Structures are given as C-alpha cells and as structure tokens.
Structure 1
C-alpha cells in the first residue's frame, strides 16, 4: 500500500502541476482539500481523470462516497486497491 500511496502522491504532483512539492511533502493521512494540501473542485476533477486514466477506476462526481475517497492520499490508495481487486 505504501508503494501505491507513493504513486498517487506523484500523480497528484504531476497532474496538478505542483512542482514546488515533492512526494515527501504530502502526508498520506492529511486532507487533500481545504486544510492539508488545499486542493479545490477543479483539482478534484483533474485528479479524478488522472486516476481513471492510470488505474482504470471510475467515480461518480457528486457522490458522498467519492468525497470520502478523496479525503486523503491513504483513502485514495485504499479505493484504487479495492477497485482493482474487484475487477474480474
């Protein structure tokens, strides 16, 4: 799971052009939105597309479940891992 968290941190940095951050700067348990990393709704859309492209996961844009998945890097990693485990 740590490897997946690392990959997601790198994906966040590259897909959102956060060149001033390194993966080590991102706490995997910290919130991604408002507090923590401070991302906004546009960032969420871009990150969602990057996750879909890289891992083949699909998310509903306005669901409460999706908001939970985007709570932190750790939550995203768990979602990606579980989604991958459910594929045939």
Structure 2
C-alpha cells in the first residue's frame, strides 16, 4: 500500500467511524461495497464529500464515480489523475 492509498484508507476509517479498523487492515484491492468492506450508498455519499474536501475533487458523474469507488486503489488512482489535470 502506497502513502496515498494509506491516506485514503484512513480517510474512510475517519469519515465512516470505522474505529475497529486501521488503515493497514484495508487491502487496497478489497472491494469497498458488498462483500468487501461492506459500505453502502450513504457511506459513498459521505466518502465522496470527504474526498472532495480533502483533495479538492469534483465527482460529478455517478456512473464514473461507481468505477472509482470500487477499491482504495481505484480511489487513489482517481485522486492522482485529478491532481495531474489540475
């Protein structure tokens, strides 16, 4: 897990009050929804807001967001991509 992935995992923990987890407990390729970490649509909204506030992202298209919110790794790649276009 790289530094950005660890930061995003910690952001997930802090935002969603998953105090029973540590950032290193979340595999960067583990699905965030369903059988993975078990997040739901409300969690996705809270996480999207936290990502926007922390990284200055703009998540506009829900279909696009669904792809980026699959794993910690996909979120990190999205953040990196957005930073390179800023």
* TM-score, structure 1 normalization: 0.93
- Deviations, residues 39-86 of structure 1 (Å, cap 9, x unaligned): 000000000000000000011252x21101000000000000000000
Q: Secondary structure at the match of 2:28?
A: coil
The DSSP-based 3-state class of the residue aligned with 2:80 is helix
Aligned to 1:10: 10
TM-score, normalization: structure 2? 0.95
In the TM superposition, 1:40-59 aligns within 5 A as 40-59=40-59
In 1, Cα distance between equivalents of 2:51 and 2:69: 11
**Unpaired runs of at least 5, structure 2:** none
> Could you list the runs of 4 or more consecutive aligned residues of structure 1 that deviate by over 4 angstroms after TM superposition?
none
- Displacement after TM superposition at 1:25 (Å): 1.0
Q: State the SS of the aligned residue for 1:51.
A: helix
Distance 2:83 2:32 in 1: 22
Aligned to 2:19: 19
SS of match in other structure, 1:58: coil
**Post-superposition offset of 1:35:** 1.5
5+ long unaligned stretches in structure 1: none
